Amino acid sequence: METFIEIEVRPTEIDVMGHVNNAKYLEYMEWGREDWYNKAELPFDRLTEMNIGTVTVNININYRKEARLGEHLTIYTQPVKKGRTSYTLKHVIVNEAGERVADAEVISVTIDLETRKSVPIPAELGVLFST
One of 15, 35, 103, 112 is an active-site residue; which one? 15
Catalytic status, residue 15: yes
Query: Which backbone phi and psi does 38 adopt, to 5 degrees?
Result: -65, -45
Confidence bin at 129 (pLDDT 50/70/90): very high
Choose between 130 and 122: higher pLDDT.
122
40 or 130: whose pLDDT is higher?
40
- Residue 130 has what pLDDT? 73
Q: Looking at the domain that runs over 3-126, which CATH code has it been given?
A: 3.10.129.10
Task: Give 69-102 pLDDT, tens digit per residue.
Answer: 999 999 999 999 999 999 999 999 999 999 999 9
Residue 117 main-chain phi, psi, to 5 deg: -110, 155
Q: CA–CA separation, 98 vs 55, rounded Å? A: 31
pTM of the predicted model as reported, rounded to 2 decimal places:
0.94
Give pLDDT, residue 121.
97
- pLDDT at res. 108: 98
- Please check the confidence at residue 131 and state whether its pLDDT lies above 70: no
User: What is the arrangement of strands in the sheet containing 100-112, beginning at the earlier edge strand?
Assistant: 3-8, 72-82, 86-94, 100-112, 52-63
Instruction: Return the pLDDT at 115.
Output: 98
Query: How is residue 47 annotated by DSSP?
Result: H
CB within 8 A of 45, min separation 6: which ones? none
Could you give the percent of the chain with pLDDT greater than 70?
99
